Amino acid sequence: MLVNKSNLELVFINLKTTFNKAFDAAPSLWQKTTMLVPSGSSQSDYGWLSRFPRMRKWIGDKVIKALEAFKYTVVNDDWEATVEVDRNDIEDDNLGIYSPMAQEAGYSSKQLPDEIDADLKNNAFANLCYDGQYFYDTDHPVGEARTSTSNKGTAVLSAATTAAAAASYGAARTAIMSFKDDEGRPLGLIPDVLEVPPALEATARLICENEKLTDQSPNPYRGTATVIVNPRLTSATAWFLHVTTRPIKPFVYQERKKPVFVQQVDPASDDVFMRKKFKFGAEARAAGGYGFWQMSYGSTGEG
């Protein structure tokens, strides 16, 4: 193939089409537990989480929720996946080898939010959220009295002791449903998603899907949550229970720029002129953050 402007445009249009098809077809999990928040600058502030309003009986003057002294900012990161195309491969019509690369770039771009989301969960016992505490912690301050409230446990979820695992799940479920706002009113949260690593899939499905537990006792938790098996979770013992039915979800995917296909095909560029290398790939700007800790319960599973 003659390497000229029109042929280069055709080559990269075909690669972009391949990229877009793979992007559209790729699966993703993050939307189940994480909310998309568009970002209009290099970073976004989530201090507003401390003053989220709830309806209350209007007696006298309206009660204005003041912004507490929390500052929680999520800074956008740059992301990329780049592939080089040798000019000889264009001249020799040897472009078939680049189609799988374009597909993988598209697939990976679609799953970027999943990777960011999993990173949030893998580090949620050690990363801070809007109130200055670890996202999963035993002493979140609530209300003017700064009452310590816990959304963290250590209970094991093991197939060897399914009845005990079900009790651990039930305790986490009760904890979430007992959370109150800063005025002492129940938040009315009902968890509906149990997220586990592959090692805990069997136990999670027994708890949420079976009529009976392994000791043949009735299972009171059947149908109380959907099971998500996340292969990106790095701990084989940690598990998470989430509330996902509200407009605000436990985790944040902050998107500054959606993944886009980019290319470098100018023959006058240094890489092309000096090294006969064209480039294509994907670019994005995004980051992850933590929403309301009250909408999730995490256990290390360490006992």
- Tell me: the pLDDT tens digits for 224-240? 999 999 999 999 999 99
What pTM value is reported for the model? Answer: 0.86
The Cα–Cα gap between 68 and 144 comes to 11
Mean pLDDT of 240-252: 95
| Residue 55 clears pLDDT 60, i.e. is over it | no
Mean pLDDT of 26-35: 95
- Check residue 64 and give its pLDDT: 41
Flag whether 163 is in a domain: yes
Mean pLDDT of 266-288: 79
Task: Residue 173: give the domain boundaries.
Answer: 5-24+70-78+88-138+152-299
Q: How many domains does the chain have?
A: 1
Segments of the chain assigned E as strands: 34-38, 43-45, 73-75, 77-86, 140-142, 147-149, 152-153, 193-196, 226-229, 239-242, 251-264, 277-290, 296-299
Flag whether 47 is in a domain: no
**pLDDT, mean over the chain:** 87
| Between 221 and 146, residue with greater pLDDT | 221
Flag whether 83 is in a domain: no
Mean pLDDT of 124-149: 92
Flag whether 61 is in a domain: no
The Cα–Cα gap between 175 and 228 comes to 20
Flag whether 172 is in a domain: yes
- Check residue 66 and give its pLDDT: 44
| Residue 58 clears pLDDT 60, i.e. is over it | no
Flag whether 48 is in a domain: no
Flag whether 29 is in a domain: no
CA-based nearest residue to 30, from 146, 105, 115, 106: 115
Flag whether 74 is in a domain: yes
Mean pLDDT of 40-65: 64
In angstroms and rounded to an integer, the radius of gyration of the C-alpha atoms of the chain is: 24
Q: Which residues pair with 287 in a beta bridge?
A: 254
Q: Which residues pair with 278 in a beta bridge?
A: 85
Mean pLDDT of 17-37: 94
- Best-predicted range by mean pLDDT among 7-16, 70-79, 190-199? 190-199
